[in-house]
Amino acid sequence: MKHMTTIAISLAAMLLPATGVAWGQAKGGVIDVATIGEPPTLDPMASTADLVGIVTQHIYETLYTFDKDWGVTPLLAADMPQISADGKTYTIALRTGIKFHDGSDMNSTDVVASLQRWMKVATRGKQTAETVTAIEAVDDNTIKITLNKPFAPLLSLLSLNNAAAIIIPSEVAAQDPLTSFVGTGPYMLKERKPDQFIQLARFDGYKSRDGEANGYGGARKQYLDEIRFVPVPDPNTRIEGAVSGQFAYVDSLPVESFDKISGGKTAPVMLKPFGWPVFFMNTKEGLNSDIKIRKAIQAALAPKDMMLAAFGSEEFFSIDGAMYPQGYKWHSETGTEPYKPEGDTEAATALLKEAGYDGSKPLRILTSRQYEFHYKLAQVAAEYLKAAGFKVQMDVVEWATLTKNRTDPALWDIYITHSPFLPEPSLTGFMSDTAPGWWVSDKKREVLGAFNAESDPAKRIALWPAVQQAVYDEVPAFKVGNFNALAAQAPNLKGVTPAPWPYFWNAYLEAK
Amino acid sequence: MLRSIINRLLGMIVVMAIVVTIVFVIVRVTPGDPAAVMLGPEATAADIAALRTKLGLDGSILEQFGHYVLGVVQGDFGQSIFLNQPVTEALAQRAEPTFFLTIFSLLIATVIALPVGILSAYWRGSIFDQAATTVAMFAASVPSFWLGLLLMQFFAVKLGWFNTSGYGGPGASLSERLNHLVLPALALGLVSSALITRFTRASMLDVLNDDYVRTARSKGMSEWRVVLKHAFKNALIPILTVLGLTAALLISGAVVTETVFGLPGVGNLVVSAVLRRDYPVIQGALLVIAGLYVLVNFGIDMLYLLVDPRVRY
């Protein structure tokens, strides 16, 4: 309870300025932000890593972004697109007077070149390219995207900040890898010393949208002179940095450090819920190519004990089978009956028997200790699976090995990962036929096809439960629950809204 | 003397050739893929394969090895996959914190260990000796990262005298940067001092009862002159070995300590390169570290020749 009160006070204190009270928002100041490490690249097209998105979203902008309710809202686009009646043509008017960090003006040539690079370089861009017939400039300030079939996730894909459809000058768009880091964002790259700091300075030529801030959208104010991202890979050192007050903001802290952070010089910030741990099933090869085995796993697993082992206290997680928690427009309980918080060992054993499993072939769980909670989830899961009659083999490898091995269907049956709640459900890993797990079925094609083809937002919400039903019926993955994320924030840093990818435009330092 | 030096130099070349081969093979047989790490969790197998081709990782191992050796011979360690810069440049950038950390740690270790080791041996069995031995044993058993965290908690968090991590922001002066090295140097220096104390004590005990020490005493020399000039000088060879190896270990980056304190040194570079599978950086860094070990050993061997002219290789 003490935690909940602290969380409520912390959140209230942070949200207060965002509700329109504009006191103390003086320009100036430099903040140090401790991150989990050095981003592998500063080209957000080239990586889906969250860290890349967190840093580079200050440098680059996309045509669209997400508002506080995770709805798509225009950023560099002047407005929402005009979509043709058949859902295949998107005409997008661009904002005018937008400058790049090199002083040049943004126009449709830059946007077309950037989107073409995105379709060539970015994982999400390549997926989109399969549905794109043409991207062309209509005039200096308008572009047109033509699709070969209706594809509703397009706007979400153009909005995401990782594997992002950033807009860069046309001559820079020819670079691969990117060597000039020139965007339109409120902050520009000043200096980067790998493993030491990434220094961003206010871009004086920035043109913010009018109106109020709204999630990642709306007005972007540049109160701070500089934002410095400092890699602090060791979690214990990040905790000590938060307690000592060395940083204005410390990202990604272990939730068990909540009490320690509370007693320090920065206040804990809980993002509740942040995301979901997930067991991906290899539907292509091995034991899990049999749906009965996957169903047996679904019955055997006991999310409550697993989450308790992984996160320590119920204040840091919740048991929830719905793929999106309450509060999200995608929340639905449809199909979640097989999700049993305590597990159902008897049902699992019966399903295994029905599948003809004799216990000779081990169920291989691929996991790592990069994220300790993955490993703890795996340990508890293994015991419940053994109780149901499985022979379990834990393949605990280092993260880089896991990212390699999961692409080979011969090497695993289950692999463990986690994800924030993505604004667009169809972007979730296992929705792609080619993502590790390789879930392909007629049912999936039918329900996901209908969901992706519908461009009316209200109708899409109505179509989503059928997709969730298919996930529970065919078990390409097992959602374990919802978990929270912990960060820490200096008491004088205001205007930061808790978000899965924290951002610091609109943030300011209150005079002490 | 000259022949000894030539023999040692030839040995060094052979050792480095073996190191190049072993490092290349180990790096390539380790599971993991830099392309998968760079592209992130949502990347498809096709994306990963395409990037591997672009990075030149799809050729045969022999082909890649030949290309690598050719580069090394010409002083080109390749281009970092993630840092977008030549490996030599990345290493040069990380040299400063590692160099100063090594110097400070060695200084702390030596200043503590030599007097304590000498006094422990001289007052063998005394309370001082027993206390010094116990503390040294404890310090030798403590992992430097754990001691580092304790120092961090006390001096950085509780007293606020130092930063918990980092190496200064943009435009930080040399003194500001060096200020960040105090705690990691203390952690490393204290742990290293334990080993050097033990060696100094043992080495001094070996010589304190030798005939030439008795002779020096019988000549009426002052006790401290006997201990420092006659005994200590002859006890130096094993101490030099330990000091040299400690220095090499510290130059190699004090991997864990640099990571704990977020120092952008060679050790930190190696750790992040291994985690990302940045092959050129791992290979280049390990080669340089091995080279430093070989050079330090060569230096120690040369010092032996100076300290004890009877030594031959």
Domain boundaries, chain A: 7-266+490-509, 276-483
Of B47, B93, B268, the CB nearest to A126: B47
Classify B219 as helix, strand or coil: coil
Nearest CA of chain A to the CA of B147: how many Å? 13
| Nearest CA among A290, A404, A407, A416 for reference residue A356 | A290
Q: Which of B29, B157, B260 has the most A C-beta neighbours within 10 Å, making it the best mutation to test the interface with A?
A: B157
Residues 70-89 of B with CB under 8 A from A: 82-84
Minimum-distance CB partner of A197 among B36, B45, B169:
B169
Question: Where do runs of H (alpha helix) occur along A270-410?
Answer: 291-300, 303-311, 345-355, 372-388, 399-405
Determine which of A385-389, A484-488, B18-22, B248-252 has the lowest per-residue pLDDT on average: B248-252
By the 8 A CB rule, do B144 and B191 touch? yes
CB contact under 8 A, B277 and A230: no
Residue in B with minimal Cα distance to A120: B47
pLDDT > 90: what percent of chain B?
A: 28
Let me know: does A482 contact A318? Beta carbons within 8 Å.
yes
**Greater model confidence, B270 or A387:** A387
- Residue B113 to residue A462: CA distance in whole angstroms: 74
Write out the two tokens for B71.
Answer: 């580069």
Please, what sign has the CA dihedral across residues A404, A409, A415, A418?
positive
Pick the CATH number of A7-266+490-509 from 3.60.150.10, 3.40.190.10, 3.40.50.300, 3.30.360.10: 3.40.190.10
Would the CB atoms of A197 and B276 count as touching at under 8 Å? no
Among B31, B42, B260, the residue with its CB nearest the CB of A429 is B42
> What is the pLDDT at residue A328?
92
Q: Which is it for strands A363-367 and A392-396: parallel, antiparallel or unpaired?
A: parallel
**B156 in A contact zone (CB under 8 Å):** yes
Task: Assign B94 to helix, strand or coil.
Answer: helix
What is this structure's pTM? 0.84
pLDDT one-digit tens code per residue, A204-230: 999 999 999 999 999 999 999 999 999
User: Using CA atoms, how far apart are residues B152 and B154, in angstroms rounded to an integer?
Assistant: 6
pLDDT at B69 over 60: yes
DSSP string computed for B184-212: HHHHHHHHHHHHHHHHHHHHHHHHHTSHH
Q: Which residues of A touch B180 (CB under 8 A)?
A: none
pLDDT at B179 over 60: yes
Terminal CA-to-CA distance of chain A, rounded, Å?
30
What is the rounded distance in angstroms from the CA atom of residue B308 to the CA atom of residue B313? Answer: 12
Q: Torsions phi, psi of B46, nearest 5?
A: -65, -40
Does a cis peptide bond (omega within 30 degrees of 0) precede residue A235?
no
Residue A128 CB partners (closer than 8 Å, separation 6+): A118, A119, A151, A154, A157
The answer to whether B281 touches A40, Cβ cutoff 8 Å, is no
Q: What is the pLDDT of residue A2?
A: 44
Cβ-nearest to A40 among B30, B166, B276? B276
Quick one: pLDDT band at residue B4, thresholds 50, 70, 90?
A: confident
For residues A313 and A462, the answer to whether their CB atoms sit within 8 Å is no
- How many whole angstroms separate alpha carbon B210 and alpha carbon A503? 71
Residue found under tokens 């040995």: B11
SS3 B4: helix
Q: Which of A120, A232, A237 to mutate to test binding with chain B, by most B CBs within 10 Å of its CB?
A: A237
- Find out whether A291 and A475 touch, Cβ atoms under 8 Å: yes
Flag the least confident range among A335-349, B36-50, B268-282.
B36-50
- Phi, psi angle pair for A174, to nearest 5°: -75, -10
C-alpha span between B70 and B67 (Å, rounded): 5
State the CB neighbour count (10 A cutoff) for residue A311: 22
Tens digit of each residue's pLDDT, chain A (512 residues): 444 444 444 444 444 444 334 446 788 999 999 999 888 889 999 888 889 999 999 999 999 999 998 999 999 999 999 999 999 999 999 999 999 999 999 999 999 999 999 999 998 898 899 999 999 999 999 999 999 999 999 999 999 998 999 999 999 999 988 999 999 999 999 999 988 999 999 999 999 999 999 999 999 999 999 999 999 988 999 999 999 999 999 999 998 899 999 999 999 999 999 999 999 999 999 999 999 999 999 999 999 999 999 998 999 999 999 999 998 999 999 999 999 999 999 999 999 999 999 999 999 999 998 888 999 999 999 999 999 999 999 999 988 788 888 989 999 999 999 999 999 998 888 898 888 899 999 999 999 999 999 988 899 999 999 999 999 999 999 999 999 999 999 999 999 998 999 999 999 999 76
Q: What is the pLDDT of residue A8?
A: 43
Grade residue B45 by pLDDT with cuts at 50, 70 and 90: confident
Strands annotated E in A209-307? 213-214, 217-218, 226-231, 249-253, 267-281
Torsion angle of C-alpha atoms A17, A23, A26, A32, degrees rounded to 10: -30
Contacts of residue A290, Cβ cutoff 8 Å, sequence gap at least 6: A355
Interface test mutation site (partner A, options B39, B42, B53, max chain A beta carbons within 10 A): B42
Q: Which residue has the higher pLDDT, B113 or B213?
A: B113
How far apart CA A36 and CA B152 sit, in angstroms, is 19
Interface of B with A in 199-238 (CB under 8 A): none
pLDDT of residue A400: 77
The whole-angstrom distance between A178's CA and the closest CA on chain B is: 9
- CB-nearest to B36 from A196, A397, A404 is A404
By Cβ distance, the residue of B38, B93, B277 closest to A46 is: B38
Residue of B164, B261, B275, B277 to mutate, testing the A interface (most A Cβ within 10 Å of its Cβ) = B164
**Angstroms from A190 CA to nearest CA on chain B:** 10
B169 touches A: beta carbon within 8 Å: yes
B78 pLDDT band, cuts 50/70/90, is confident
Q: ipTM of this predicted complex? A: 0.77
CATH number of A276-483: 3.10.105.10
> Which residue in chain B is spatially nearest to A126 when comparing CA positions?
B47
Per-residue pLDDT at A16:
41
- Residue B83, classified by CB atoms within 10 Å of its CB into exposed (0-12), middle (13-18) or buried (19+), is buried
Q: In the A/B pair of chains, how many CB contacts fall below 8 A?
A: 153
Q: Residue A194: closest CA among chain B residues belongs to which residue?
A: B83
Contact assignment for A403 to B46 by CB distance below 8 Å: no
Amino acid identity of A332? S
Which residue from B276, B35, B38 is spatially nearest to A370, judged by alpha carbons? Answer: B276
Q: What is the pLDDT of residue B279?
A: 87
- CA B174 – CA B168 distance, rounded (Å): 9
Question: What is the helix (H) or strand (E) element at residue B214, kind and residue range?
Answer: helix B211-218
- Distance (Å, rounded) from C-alpha B287 to C-alpha B281? 10
| CB-CB neighbors (< 8 A) of B82 in chain A | 38, 40-41
For chain B, what is the mean pLDDT?
86
Structure tokens at A179: 């060597």
Cα dist from A4 to A89, A254, A262, A483, whole Å = 48, 17, 12, 15
